[in-house]
Amino acid sequence: MAPDGTPDLKVVGTRPIRPDGVDKVTGRAQFGADFQLPGQLVGKVLRSPHAHARIRSIDTSKAEAIPGVKAVMTAADMPEITSEEAFVGEGPADFKDMSGNTMARDKALYDGHAVAAVAATSAAAADAALAAIEVDYEVLPHVIDVEDAMVEGAPILHDDMFTSGVDPKPATPSNVAKRMVFELGDVDAAFGKADIVIERKYKTAPVHQGYIEPHACVAQYAADGQVQIYCSSQGQFMVRAYVAKLLGIDISEIRVTPLEIGGGFGGKTLVYLEPLAVVLSRKSGRPVKMAMTREEVFRGSGPTSGGTVWVKVGAKRDGTIVAGDAVLKFQAGAYAGSPVGPGCMTAFAVYDLQDVRITGYDVVTNRPKVAAYRAPGAPISNFGVESAVDELARELGMDPVELRLKNAAKKGTKAAYGPTFGDIGCVETLEAVKDHPNYNVPLEPNQGRGVAAGFWFNIGGESSATVNINEDGTAVVATGNPDIGGSRASMAMMAAEVLGIDVERVRPIVADTSSVGYCFLTGGSRVTFATGMAVVEASRSVVNELKARAAKTWDIPVDAVEWQDGKAVPAGSNAGDFEPLSLEDLAAKSGRTGGPIAATSSLNAQGAGPGFGTHLVDVEVDRETGHVKVLRYLATQDAGRAIHPSYVEGQIQGGAVQGIGWALNEEYIYDDRGRLDNPGFLDYRIPVASDLPMIDTVVVEVPNPRHPYGARGVGEVPIVPPMAAMANAIQDAIGIRLTELPMSPPKVRKAVDEQAAAEE
Amino acid sequence: MAKHHISTTINGEPVEFLCNTEQTMLDVLRDELHLTGTKEGCATGDCGACSITVDDRLVCSCLMLGVEAEGHSIQTIEGMADGDQLHPLQQKFLEYAALQCGICTPGFLVASKALLDRNPDPTEEEARYWLAGNLCRCTGYDKIIRAVLDTAADMRGAS
């Protein structure tokens, strides 16, 4: 045991090379678009050029007559789905809406909404077929901006949408799907105790997850009704469940084989192409491959919400924050279900407040339906709250880290959304920032330093793992979660730790839906925690079985056998004098001691440890061009226990950089007809290597008591603080508070010009 | 229209293929030759996932036509390792955990090798600008840049 009571670990906490690494550096790994079946057709989607239009009719006859075209489909080829709540991991959804988003039925609700699809023997024939489909549209007025969508007289997307969460129930339809309130204490009274109050409104732009791999799949519908789907996604079981529901097929008829996933960040937690490919395969009798272009990814798959965040915070002169109030309005895209709920719940979660209130509105607009994006909702509300708290620190003349330390959530803090925190590392991440050299680097003119802290819940959930011991004493660990950033490595490491063998002797696989027990999707920062827990449990069962086999071999009671360093040994001299039996020995003889050795664990993991992180950034602002250069970036985060520290650092660095992109450049730009103007990486500019410095990380470890090795999720927290940290740094550099994202050169330049004009 | 018959060299081996006039080199590699290590991220030359070298020049294969391969020597990610001996960049990317999902990795490796072939001692800034045409959404580039610079140092030491 280590001095702090944690067990000595041999594998956990080391940095082995990932088991799937060689495949991924040699080009051998098969991603979504790399797979093919003999005789496959090319499937393509026809998308609405209008932001809002009634579909009067669709004539596919000319398309069907083109040589090489084997199938054409519209929403008429899919069953009409009744409204039913779908659990998509990090946000609510409705199967009826999901069906409508997959293929527009009566109305096209955004530029890029799928209205028909074709399958043909060549891409050229498929393109010709798309061009030959005649859609009769009645173009309707549209609405893009979230607050425009909320005003009376705004174009209404859904005639049957009545705002829920308001009393009395409205009599007229609205674009506001839902209103929600989270409240603790008496906020209005608490503001009376404040010496200083900051009140301000902030705005964020919708941003896309920007995974480099476009959505892709191959589907085969066989004459006996059996469906095979090969695709990249954040969950093969999710794809199976949704395709079954949307097409009215029994789950047992569908087998989904996961291919490697080229990034998801939440954007691949739902289906777009898969149901269409299955329908086209059913109609054509041939396998159908579909892949989105980059333009389709931007126009037709889900970004996250843009929104407005009104924040009011009050504090006493000594820096005690006495009250927080916020109103969040998130656009959900064409169907209800923005992440405004988690946006509300996370808004003030880094603070220990007795009196706090957050009100949220979920609002539909003529944009693609939003999808989960890394800590869905939290970065948006955090941008407002952490900007306002920075303003508070300036008013108070307090160091922004000290102000946060004074008010930080800690063990026993009751969060506005309900729970009371257990062991959390919010304070530790703030202290880590103060202890880091970046905190004291001298700054030059036009340079500034900003800090912000962030929170994400992390989730657990349903997971399964099977551990099979091979005849030679090596092991296979099968789980059902796509490996989106190195999770095979952490699964193998945890199994190796329990089994007491080298990690190289454990081969982790991501199994198809017919080969392993159910696993909820890869999301919510849950895989290392929850699926890891299943791996540990299954591995422990294997060890128990190995001990039983040794006991049988030695003819002693099983409780007289211990498992040490991959070997069965007698528990002390009373147990008898036997040579240790290694895993190899026991595996080789397993046929004579009871048969193959394997174990499965299926569980619903509870107790995912909440995650906190604090970011510190130095920027330099070019007053002539409005360009913001990131000079230094530090991200500290509580990982509970880093299973593979390199991949924990990688998650933190990657999340921080996505946040930098969100802060400085990324946005959806629409023209006055509601068409997306920048559906490509040239004009939707994600950060590139030359934009950035190294991203310094400090991994703080406050163990999560609910995980065998103390792990908590790490993937989502790091995208929460960057936007406010950047805005706070820009304020520090040039004395201007920017309240609207992205803080792109034209906006910074405009603000500088306005400042200069005001000073004249 | 009849397809074009193209004779070229890919990863040191003579290769012949048929392609349509409008087919990109990326589509030829992936769809005709089944060399799917070269990835499509955008098909507009913005992401670098389809990076190859043509006569040692770094190219986005989505911006090149298949017919343009005639008579040239092309290198793809599949030709980077020498049998089961990984190229030092490949090994270093693994050691540094310079990949998460791995979709951009082939492009980064091909582009990084093109950099080190030209400049065996790049500064961090030179590496960042050379690789600015390759998008990675997972890593924030930190570990990629470190892996490239460390490979360069090792290779200088070995030569």
Residue B92: give the domain boundaries: 88-158
Please report the pLDDT score of residue B32 as a whole number.
96
CA-to-CA separations, A89 to A96, A752, B15, in angstroms, rounded: 17, 42, 47
Nearest CA in chain A to B37: A27
Shared domain for B94 and B75, answered yes or no, is no
Chunked into runs of 10 residues, chain A (760 residues) has average pLDDT values of 64 97 98 97 98 98 98 98 77 87 97 98 97 98 97 97 94 97 96 98 98 98 96 97 96 98 96 98 98 98 96 98 98 96 97 97 98 97 98 98 98 92 97 98 98 96 97 98 96 98 98 97 93 98 98 96 97 90 97 97 94 98 98 98 97 98 97 98 97 98 95 97 98 98 98 93
What CA–CA distance (Å, rounded) separates A723 from A381?
Answer: 10
Instruction: List CB contacts (< 8 A) between B85 and chain A.
Output: none
Please give the backbone phi and psi of residue A79, each rounded to the nearest 5 degrees, phi first.
-65, 145
Last residue of a domain, one of B55, B79, B103: B79
Compare CB distances from A26 to B47, B81, B103 and report the shortest one's residue: B81
Q: Are A113 and A47 a contacting pair, CB within 8 Å?
A: yes
Compare CB distances from B100 to A29, A485, A682 and report the shortest one's residue: A485
Judged by CB atoms closer than 8 Å, whether chains meet at B137 and A30 is answered as no
Shared domain for B92 and B149, answered yes or no, is yes
Specify whether domain A21-28+460-605 bears CATH 3.40.50.620.
no
Compare CB distances from A25 to B42, B94, B133 and report the shortest one's residue: B94
Instruction: List CB contacts (< 8 A) between A214 and chain B.
Output: 40-41
Last residue of a domain, one of B48, B79, B110: B79
Interface test with A, best of B137, B148, B151 (most A CBs within 10 A): B137
Nearest CA in chain A to B89: A25
A348: its two tokens: 């003030």
Name the minimum distance, in Å, from the CA of A647 to any CA of chain B: 7
Name the minimum distance, in Å, from the CA of A123 to any CA of chain B: 11
Shared domain for B69 and B96, answered yes or no, is no
Judged by CB atoms closer than 8 Å, whether chains meet at A26 and B76 is answered as no
What CA–CA distance (Å, rounded) separates B48 from A261?
Answer: 18
Compare CB distances from B131 to A212, A650, A689 and report the shortest one's residue: A689
Shared domain for B73 and B119, answered yes or no, is no
Instruction: List CB contacts (< 8 A) between B133 and chain A.
Output: 688
Please report the pLDDT score of residue A6 as a whole number.
56
Compare CB distances from B141 to A27, A293, A689 and report the shortest one's residue: A689
Compare CB distances from A210 to B86, B102, B137 and report the shortest one's residue: B137
Strands B4-10 and B73-75: parallel
ipTM of predicted assembly, 2 dp: 0.98
Instruction: List CB contacts (< 8 A) between B138 and chain A.
Output: 263, 485, 650, 654
Interface test with B, best of A17, A18, A26, A682 (most B CBs within 10 A): A26
Whichever domain contains B50, its CATH number is: 3.10.20.30
Instruction: List CB contacts (< 8 A) between A690 and chain B.
Output: 125, 128-129, 131-132
Please give the backbone phi and psi of residue A274, each rounded to the nearest 5 degrees, phi first.
-55, -45
Shared domain for B93 and B144, answered yes or no, is yes
Nearest CA in chain B to A374: B138
Shared domain for B64 and B99, answered yes or no, is no
A361: its two tokens: 């509105």
DSSP category for residue B65: B
Instruction: List CB contacts (< 8 A) between A29 and chain B.
Output: 102
User: Which residues touch A485 (CB under 8 Å, ≥6 apart)?
Assistant: A647, A650, A651, A654, A715, B100, B101, B138
Instruction: List CB contacts (< 8 A) between B39 and chain A.
Output: 31, 33, 212-213, 262
Shared domain for B69 and B102, answered yes or no, is no
Please report the pLDDT score of residue A69 as a whole number.
98
Q: Are A495 and A670 a contacting pair, CB within 8 Å?
A: no
Shared domain for B66 and B115, answered yes or no, is no
Q: Are A449 and A436 a contacting pair, CB within 8 Å?
A: no
Please, what is the angle between helix B105-118 and helix B142-158, to 10°?
A: 40
Please report the pLDDT score of residue A572 as a whole number.
85
Judged by CB atoms closer than 8 Å, whether chains meet at A694 and B146 is answered as yes
Shared domain for B65 and B130, answered yes or no, is no
Interface test with A, best of B38, B99, B141 (most A CBs within 10 A): B141
Whichever domain contains B143, its CATH number is: 1.10.150.120
What CA–CA distance (Å, rounded) separates A547 from A542?
Answer: 9
Interface test with B, best of A688, A695, A698, A716 (most B CBs within 10 A): A688
Give the mean pLDDT of chain A: 96
User: Which residues touch A496 (CB under 8 Å, ≥6 apart)?
Assistant: A11, A502, A503, A505, A506
Instruction: List CB contacts (< 8 A) between B63 and chain A.
Output: none
Q: Are A174 and A365 a contacting pair, CB within 8 Å?
A: no
Q: Can you give the residue ranges of every domain in chain A?
A: 21-28+460-605, 427-447+611-760
Q: Do domains A21-28+460-605 and A427-447+611-760 have the same CATH topology?
A: yes
Shared domain for B128 and B70, answered yes or no, is no
Position A273: which residue type? L
Of A726, A733, A729, residue with least CA distance to A752: A733
Nearest CA in chain A to B139: A654
**Beta strands across the sheet bearing A598-605:** A506-510, A475-479, A461-469, A598-605
What CA–CA distance (Å, rounded) separates A77 from A227?
Answer: 17
Judged by CB atoms closer than 8 Å, whether chains meet at A653 and B36 is answered as no
Shared domain for B59 and B95, answered yes or no, is no
CA-to-CA separations, A101 to A91, A152, A340, in angstroms, rounded: 16, 25, 20
Please report the pLDDT score of residue A88 as a whole number.
58
Name the minimum distance, in Å, from the CA of A440 to any CA of chain B: 22
Of A485-494, A570-579, B85-94, B120-129, the least confident: A570-579
Q: How many domains does chain B have?
A: 2
Predicted TM-score of the model (pTM)? 0.97
Instruction: List CB contacts (< 8 A) between B92 and chain A.
Output: none
Judged by CB atoms closer than 8 Å, whether chains meet at A18 and B37 is answered as no
- The DSSP H or E segment spanning A602 is strand A598-605
Name the class of domain A427-447+611-760.
alpha beta
Please report the pLDDT score of residue A3 as a whole number.
47
CB pairs under 8 A between A and B: 184
What CA–CA distance (Å, rounded) separates A156 from A658?
Answer: 33
Interface test with A, best of B100, B109, B130 (most A CBs within 10 A): B100
Shared domain for B75 and B18, answered yes or no, is yes
Judged by CB atoms closer than 8 Å, whether chains meet at A692 and B128 is answered as yes
Nearest CA in chain A to B129: A690
Judged by CB atoms closer than 8 Å, whether chains meet at B101 and A484 is answered as yes
